[in-house]
Structure 1
Amino acid sequence: MPTDRAAQVLAHALDAAPTLGAGRLICIDGPAGAGKTTLAASLVGLTGAQVLHADELLEGWGGLPHLGATIEAVLRPLAAGQPSQWRRWDWHADGWAETHPITPAPVLVIDGVGSGAAAYDDLITTLVWVEAPPEVRRTRALARDGDDFAPHWEQWAADEAELHTRERTRERADLVYSTNA
């Protein structure tokens, strides 16, 4: 199923005019544990596209409100056809780590909570919303991140719900997918 959905997402993006300079930007947003990274991996498998994971751009557990500005700062040079860079958040060291270059490309995929911010809606070719029932998402997220995520789950869920409501992310999405198992 993820490959079928990835093909739909790619077709939607390729049917649209470029929005990120000469390239296309696919943002895969939705709550934690919904299946965003699985869909992104399928897209990379189809296209070889570069993927940025929004959780690597967050300034720790409280960084969600500032994520849109961080991503926008990475995207604007790319939209002008220029190289850019992004800095990785080291969750274990609780601080910023190395910087990574990124160059304009035919397709860039950003996945993660808050990846589809309205601030750079003009650069998004295809906005995808992925959702799942809360109990499924929690089980997936804790299986993936274990003890590191468990003490933060409730606050994170509240923060992401507030962000998605404010940004109207699901309503702005071009494609909406639900996952259950």
Structure 2
Amino acid sequence: MTDSAAPTVPSLHNAQPQNPQRHAPLLHAVADWVDEGARWIVIDGLGASGKTTLADQLVAHVDGLAVVHLDDFTRPGAVGWERERFTAQVWAPLQAGQAARYQRHHWTSPEPTDWVDLPAARAVLVEGIGASEPPKGVAWDRFIWLAAPESVRSERAALRDPGRFGCWSQNWRPTEQEWFDRTEPWRGADLVWVTA
């Protein structure tokens, strides 16, 4: 299966992530999950599907929701995100009802950057590629798969970071596509949201 195929999953919707009014049903769904007691909500999707944009809008519209960007848990040359560090610095303290603190790392820089403080929020939104595969001993309450056609994702990636588009299109995109084809992560989603 390719990422342009339409998966058969619960709650398939269409919206533009740049326009909150066009995905009001998703905002309401997440708010309802939080009201029902969901503590950990994840957004996963292939590169340039709109995960960060959507996460930031959800945090702006859903009371008591904090966000963790998994790009902060990556390192140059490494594949995937640092699950053990996430567990120790984010999951464990927040699960215990305490504030959490971690230092941003990014795959483009060997040195860490600023610190991020997370309040003991009533719910946490975790977004990033591979977010649907939690660390050992960690369980998510809700999972959103964010999908977009490859042509849309390529256009977004080229506009977002033209200097690194070659790296993304030749290295990251094939790796992500292989993972997608092999694991079909969207099958485990509580909700699939298609941006196009």
| Larger Rg, first or second structure (1 or 2) | 2
Match of 1:21 in 2: none
How far did 1:122 drift?
4.7
Q: CA separation in 1, counterparts of 2:183 and 2:79? A: 12
Match of 2:51 in 1: 36
2:158 equivalent to 1:137:
no
Structure 1 residues 173 and 68: alpha-carbon distance in aligned structure 2, compared to 1, 3 A threshold: farther
Match of 2:144 in 1: 128
Match of 1:8 in 2: 29
1:116-157, Cα deviation, whole Å (9 max, x unpaired): 223368531211000111111111122112213432322111
5+ residue gaps, structure 1, are 19-23
1:81-129, Cα deviation, whole Å (9 max, x unpaired): 2332222125554322233232321121121212222336853121100
Match 1:46 to one of 36, 56, 61: 61
Match of 2:7 in 1: none
Query: Among the aligned pairs, what percent are the same residue?
Result: 28
1:55-105, Cα deviation, whole Å (9 max, x unpaired): 122113x33334333433321221122332222125554322233232321
Match 2:162 to one of 134, 142, 146: 146
2:83 equivalent to 1:65:
no
User: Counterpart amino acid of 1:14?
Assistant: D
Q: CA separation in 1, counterparts of 2:34 and 2:170? A: 34
Q: CA separation in 2, counterparts of 1:86 and 1:138? A: 31
Number of positions where the alignment pairs a residue of Structure 1 with one of Structure 2: 173
Structure 1 residues 166 and 67: alpha-carbon distance in aligned structure 2, compared to 1, 3 A threshold: farther
Q: CA separation in 2, counterparts of 1:38 and 1:13? A: 19
Match 1:25 to one of 19, 25, 40: 40
Choose between structure 1 and 2: higher helix proportion. 1
Q: How does 1:99-118 map to 2 (within 5 A)?
A: 99-118=115-134
User: Counterpart amino acid of 1:81?
Assistant: G
Q: CA separation in 1, counterparts of 2:136 and 2:42? A: 11
Q: TM-score, normalised by structure 1?
A: 0.80
Q: Name whichever of 64-73 and 28-37 sits farther off.
A: 64-73
Structure 1 residues 99 and 123: alpha-carbon distance in aligned structure 2, compared to 1, 3 A threshold: same
How far did 1:171 drift?
1.6
User: Counterpart amino acid of 1:151?
Assistant: C
5+ residue gaps, structure 2, are 1-21
Contact 2:75 2:109 in 1 (8 A): no
Structure 1 residues 127 and 77: alpha-carbon distance in aligned structure 2, compared to 1, 3 A threshold: same
Q: TM-score, normalised by structure 2?
A: 0.74
